[in-house]
Structure 1
Amino acid sequence: MTLTQEATTVRIELDPAPTAMVWVQPGRRHERIAVPSVSLAPGEALVAIELATICGSDVHTVLGHRDAPTPLVLGHEQVGHVQAVGDGAVTSSGELLRVGQRVVWALTVGCGDCSTCVRGLPQKCQTVRKYGHERLETGWELSGGFASHVHLKRGTAIVPVPDGDLPAEVLAPVSCGTATAVAALDAASAIVALDGVVVIVHGAGLIGLTACAMASDAGARVIVVDPAKRRRRLASRFGAVATVDPAEAGSLAAALDLVGARPLVAIEASGSPLAVAASIEVLGVGGVVVLVGSVSPSELVPVDPESIVRRLVTIRGVHNYAPAHLERAVRYLAERHDAHPFAELVGATVALGDLDDGLEAAMGGRAVRIGVAPGLAPLAPASATVRAGTPRA
């Protein structure tokens, strides 16, 4: 590695050069590009990726279900090691960032100065930028997790991982689903304390399973609703006292009889309009529903305002998270990753060059996450393609 100081920037040249997988359009394979040099401005850092994971939003993008600026480098869930730092680069707690540190980082880049950032909502910064969501640009080619390295911008919350044996499979998803689950439960517990209450979680994906584990550890009795039998079984291993098949008549009633009370907290992590309506309807007096899964256009949900008023129900929305949520997510996993099968949520790992095959596997939906490791040798044939269509159940 060659480092050259140029005025206020640090120019890094690596051998071999960092590479990134660029997505252009649905149905077309990713294209690998090399980035011969990276210039770090003050406050920036270059991180070598240990492991990335494929989020559901990545799948929806490559299938053409989401608008995205192209070309771009997808991926926003990853863990890595700091390889170089610009002047004054710091962690989320304000300590100087060190080369060699194992870190995770926030999905978003905030300016720190606008009115939204000042209110403590940097994820909604007026000039927000997101890793894995931005159009490829000269000088910031390494802007997503499906690459050998990521170029972290000033304004990114960078959180060092505590020393220990935390598996990369546990850490990689923390910058998306894990931290979002913390934010959702934080929003709920501001209204209703979790200890001793019944919590219902709709959707047993990464956010839902993590929320289930965290709420259970906080003393709640958790019911998880999901149509997939294998996901319901998994929820039981994450602390759920009961699971519900939404298509099975009487399943929810039986679960409520088992716990002996109506939920006071509902976490809606599936994005289904039916689940949103059910989450609001099932709450007891003074309950709170946190909507976290509704991140794309859907059918409107009918609401009975009189019922909400008379039951004193609170409805809150959570999108992404603040730096404090990411910090707490890392601490939680450091303390509790052995208590729940977090490492098993990554069903398989592919090489960076086999990213398209990994996306195919993620479309199958059997695993909660598929891993992508730059250090693995690629196995995919050059003729492999990615199908555009509806994800398989």
Structure 2
Amino acid sequence: MASPALTPTTPATRDVVLVPPAIAMVWTGAGRPHEIVAVPGVVLGAGETLVAIELATVCGSDVHTVEGHRAAPAPLVLGHEYVGRVIEVADGVRAVDGAHVQVGDRVVWSIMASCRECDRCRRGLPQKCRAVLKYGHERIQTHWELTGGFATHAHLRAGTAIVRVGESLRAEVLAPAACGGATAWAALARADEVADVDGATVLILGAGLIGLSACAMATDRGATVVVADPDPARRALAVRFGAAQVADPRDVRALTAALAATGSPEYDIVLEASGSPRAVQAALEVVGVGGVVVLVGSVFPTEPLPVDPERLVRGLITIRGVHNYAPRDLDAAVRYLRDRGAARPFEELVSARYPLAQIDQALAAASAGRAVRVGVDPRDAHRRC
């Protein structure tokens, strides 16, 4: 049964009137332009928070949705990578670090709200909560219209992990942490439970946001990282994020040659971040004895792949799937960016920026794939909309 904190009938603690009204860009279906919706106020329930969004970024799943490759309950407000500032908060809301969330706090928040009480939440799997609500993926409803990042404001439900981020980091660095950055941290953390990342030889397949973030994080822990991506520009970018070697994943021999160039006998950890079936197959083929393959990118339907069970058994190979993350992963990713991120060009990953009113153009730019992330800036939405 869903937690009362996550249902639309949560008793209100206060009505918040917004002058001017909040603006949300609402997606109504594949092939249709976004519609502008004004939200004059919110009913803030127990455990809830209202945030003015500073910047959102476009994730690949947003593109998959608008192109019709991913089912979604329209109408909805897309966007689940964001940074903003708290403008209203119910009593007793706490951040991941245990501190009370206060008006004026600059924050990022998790892509989901979880009940914190079901069996999955108790097992440490809040992203698979039985009553989960996911920002940027839920149909808008009465008293919860501000459901995603492509808006001027976001209405955070009870059970959302909130991380206070301070003022030093740029929005371009922080916003992607709410999805790709935290997922990269989660992937390495799950790998670390099988094969120690410190000193490991790591192969990362895919130099998107997750792959590049994981490259920097693993390198800074002392791993030797090889990054494989078919795009030469992405491979060059991976070097700036700490890759010791780069390769074209379409040639398995190139992956072997890159390994040889590191001086390591085998790949201890393989992180597949592209979702390409060919890359998944390569990951299973090249991982070393006792190694772990972490699958992160396979978040859309593909054809099933053949697996050689004898190789898995004799090679003592572990396969792990990582989808989204737990609150501790988001907190750790933000701390990493604060403490070590300046050494890598994270802010350059958002290399295109559009006003909120041009959300359809922003999504088209993201689909073209030239930018690792496209930014959506809501701060002049009332003038443009």
TM-score, with normalisation over the residues of structure 2? 0.94
Q: Does 1:28 align with 2:19?
A: no
**Aligned residue runs from structure 1 range 298-309, under 5 A:** 298-309=302-313
Separation (CA, whole Å) in 1 of partners of 2:360 and 2:22: 19
**Structure 2 equivalent of residue 387 of structure 1:** none
- Residues 103-122 of structure 1: pairs in structure 2 closer than 5 A: 103-122=107-126
Alignment of 1:240-259 (within 5 A): 240-248=243-251, 250-259=253-262
Contact conserved, 1:351 with 1:379, CA < 8 A, in 2? Answer: no
1:385 maps to none
Query: Counterparts of 1:51 and 1:257 in 2: how far apart (Å)?
Result: 42
Mapped to 1, the partners of 2:20 and 2:12 lie a distance apart of 25
CA contact (8 A) 1:350 1:376 kept: no
Q: Are 1:174 and 1:326, in contact at CA under 8 Å, matched by a contact in 2?
A: yes
CA shift digits 1:21-73 (9 cap, x unpaired):
00001121101111111111111010000000000000110011110001000
CA distance in 1, matches of 2:122, 2:251: 47
Matched, 1:151 2:155: yes
Report the CA distance between 1:336 and its aligned residue: 1.4
Which of 224, 241, 248 aligns to 2:227? It is 224
Stretch of structure 1 that moved more, 273-282 or 86-95: 86-95
Does the 8 A contact of 2:113 with 2:134 survive in 1?
yes
Which moves more between the two structures, 75-84 or 194-203?
194-203
Letter in 1 for 2:163: V
Contact 1:351 1:378 in 2 (8 A): no
Q: Out of 166, 178, 182, which is 1:179 matched to? A: 182
| TM-superposed deviation, 1:258 | 0.2
**Is it true that 1:18 corresponds to 2:18 in the alignment?**
no
What is the match of residue 206 of structure 1? 209
Q: 1:124 aligns with which of 104, 124, 128?
A: 128
Match of 1:262 among 245, 261, 266: 266
Q: Within 2, Cα distance between the matches of 1:374 and 1:322? A: 27
Q: Distance in 2 between matches of 1:74 and 1:208?
A: 23
Q: How does 1:1-393 map to 2 (within 5 A)?
A: 9-161=13-165, 163-248=166-251, 250-260=253-263, 261-376=265-380
How far 1:206 moved relative to its partner?
Answer: 0.4
Quote the Cα distance in structure 1 between the aligned partners of 2:95 and 2:198: 32
Give identity over the alignment, percent.
Answer: 58
1:59-116, Cα deviation, whole Å (9 max, x unpaired): 1100111100010000000000000011222212332110000000000111011000
Q: Cα distance, 1:152 vs. partner?
A: 0.3
Contact 1:353/1:378, CA 8 A, preserved across alignment: no
Instruction: Find the aligned partners of 2:51 and 2:216 in 1 and give their Cα distance.
Output: 30
Instruction: Determine if contact 2:12/2:43 at 8 Å carries over to the other structure.
Output: no
Instruction: Give the whole-Å Cα distance in 1 for the aligned partners of 2:152 and 2:119.
Output: 35
What is the deviation of 1:295?
0.9
Counterpart residue identity of residue 287, structure 2: L
Is there any run of 5+ residues in structure 2 with no aligned partner, and where? 1-10
CA distance in 2, matches of 1:365, 1:207: 15
Task: For residue 379 of structure 1, report the CA deviation from its aligned partner.
Answer: 10
Whether the 8 Å contact between 1:354 and 1:378 is mirrored in structure 2 is no
3-state SS of 1:284 partner: strand
Greater shift in the superposed pair: 187-196 or 369-378? 369-378
CA positional deviation for 1:283: 1.1
Quote the Cα distance in structure 2 between the aligned partners of 1:334 and 1:115: 33
* Number of aligned positions between the proteins: 374
- Are the aligned partners of 1:142 and 1:149 in contact in 2 as well (CA < 8 Å)? yes
Matched letter for residue 192 of structure 1: A
SS of the residue corresponding to residue 260 of structure 2 reads: helix
One-letter code aligned to 1:12: V
